[in-house]
Amino acid sequence: MQIFGFLGSLLGYVLWGAFYILKDFGLSIIVFTIIVRLCMFPFTIKQQKSMAGTARLSKKQKEIQEKYKNNRQKAQEEISKLYEKEGVKPTGGCLTMIVPFLVLFGVFYAVAYPLTNTLHIDSAKVTEALNYVNTIPGYTAASGATNATYQEIYFLKDFSCFQNIDAIQQIFNADQINTINMFEKGFNTFGMNLFAIPQDYGIWSPMILFPVICFASNVLTQFITMRINVKNNPMQQQQGCMKVMMYAMPLFSAYIAYIVPSAVAFYWIVSSLVSLVQSVVVGKLFSPQRMTATSEARHAALMLEQEALVKYNYVPHGLSEGAEENTKSKKKKK
């Protein structure tokens, strides 16, 4: 939890920087998501190259499996040699999926603890303020602040009621009070409060749109990504981790979006859509067909270069004596 809290604090600086300029948390999340996705772009390329490389070698892999069908250990050794020779890591497509989840947890901790992780107010002051408001009669029932995880959110939502209390003004200085006020007003995006937790309002409230849209965006992303992968390599079955992501991710995202602040769900929706665009672009740039054509073009260029060296009797430094004699004998025959 401390690791995710630290990550949430780091991401909170980016969120606060975007909010300070835009004064709208929804727009800030969009900008934040684009920045995060740009930073993760190398991982996306690595993942696509891994899948494209595995697809490109699927035919050779099947030939090896057929050749050594009675010796599975030998087949596995030959396949490993093939991957190593071609510079392909078949597990890269699964491992690089961990990074988006780490970011998602970081976003949750930045949103769930807005005072300490996004505004970076001293935690001792925040704790003191929370302890004070919890002693106010009727506060917990009126605000619904029953979940200890979201105490900072409940406090921020009702801050306009507390800001003029002497005890609160003694805890926070004038600049901090103004900053908290500005931050609280920026959470009403597109007519909806991104601090709201759909679970608190029930399935018949407008807040249920966040889990529903989160589910739909993830289904769309998974479906189109699957179509791209099948189109690039119809013969290859999806990796185990990809199958799990295909069926479990949309339902998991809908459940999470239901029990966390809507700002987290909004991030997940935007992230899914940006990821979809990235998948389409990267899928075309690094498709198995394009990578195969590039590899063949490089091989052809290398062969032409070697032929030119032989034709002009140029022996590169480090060429073996046998190879040099070979070159000379070919010239004499001509």
pLDDT tens digit string along 149-192? Answer: 888 998 988 888 888 889 999 999 999 999 999 998 888 887 78
For residue 77, the model assigns a pLDDT of 77
For residue 179, the model assigns a pLDDT of 93
For residue 215, give every residue at least 6 positions away whose Cβ sits within 8 Å of its Cβ, in sequence order, or none.
250, 251, 253, 254, 257
Are the CB atoms for 258 and 211 separated by under 8 Å? yes
Of the candidate ranges 44-48, 53-57, 121-125, 311-315, the one whose mean pLDDT is the lowest: 311-315
Task: Point out which residues pair with 189 in neighbouring strands.
Answer: 192
The pTM score is 0.73
Cα Rg, the chain, nearest whole Å: 29
Of 116-120, 199-203, 307-311, 323-327, which one has max mean pLDDT? 116-120
Task: Tell me which residue has tokens 């030119």.
Answer: 308
For residue 279, the model assigns a pLDDT of 77
Looking at per-residue pLDDT, the higher value among 232 and 19 belongs to: 19
CB atoms within 10 A of CB 49: 19
CA-wise closest residue to 67 among 55, 57, 53, 79:
79
DSSP string, 66-124: HHTTT-HHHHHHHHHHHHHHHT--TTHHHHTTHHHHHHHHHHHHHHHSIIIIIS---HH
Q: In whole angstroms, what is the distance from residue 11 CA to residue 106 CA?
A: 7
For residue 122, the model assigns a pLDDT of 93
Given a cut of 50, is residue 222 above it in pLDDT? yes
Question: Average pLDDT, stretch 255-279?
Answer: 89
DSSP string, 167-229: HHHHHS-HHHHHHHHHHHHTTEETTEETT--HHHH-TTSGGGHHHHHHHHHHHHHHHHHHHHH
For residue 44, the model assigns a pLDDT of 74
For residue 158, the model assigns a pLDDT of 85
* Per-residue pLDDT tens digits for 102-135: 888 888 999 899 999 999 999 999 999 999 988 8
Question: Average pLDDT, stretch 68-88?
Answer: 73
* Per-residue pLDDT tens digits for 236-253: 455 555 566 666 778 888
List Cα–Cα distances, 135 to 138, 139, 140, 160, 210, in angstroms. 9, 8, 9, 17, 33
For residue 119, the model assigns a pLDDT of 93
Report the mean per-residue pLDDT for the chain. Answer: 77
For residue 320, the model assigns a pLDDT of 46
Task: Tell me which residue has tokens 């704790």.
Answer: 127
- As a residue count, the chain comes to 334
Q: Angle CA(41)–CA(47)–CA(53) in degrees, nearest 5? A: 130
Q: In whole angstroms, what is the distance from residue 100 CA to residue 186 CA?
A: 26
For residue 314, the model assigns a pLDDT of 52
Q: In whole angstroms, what is the distance from residue 266 CA to residue 262 CA?
A: 6
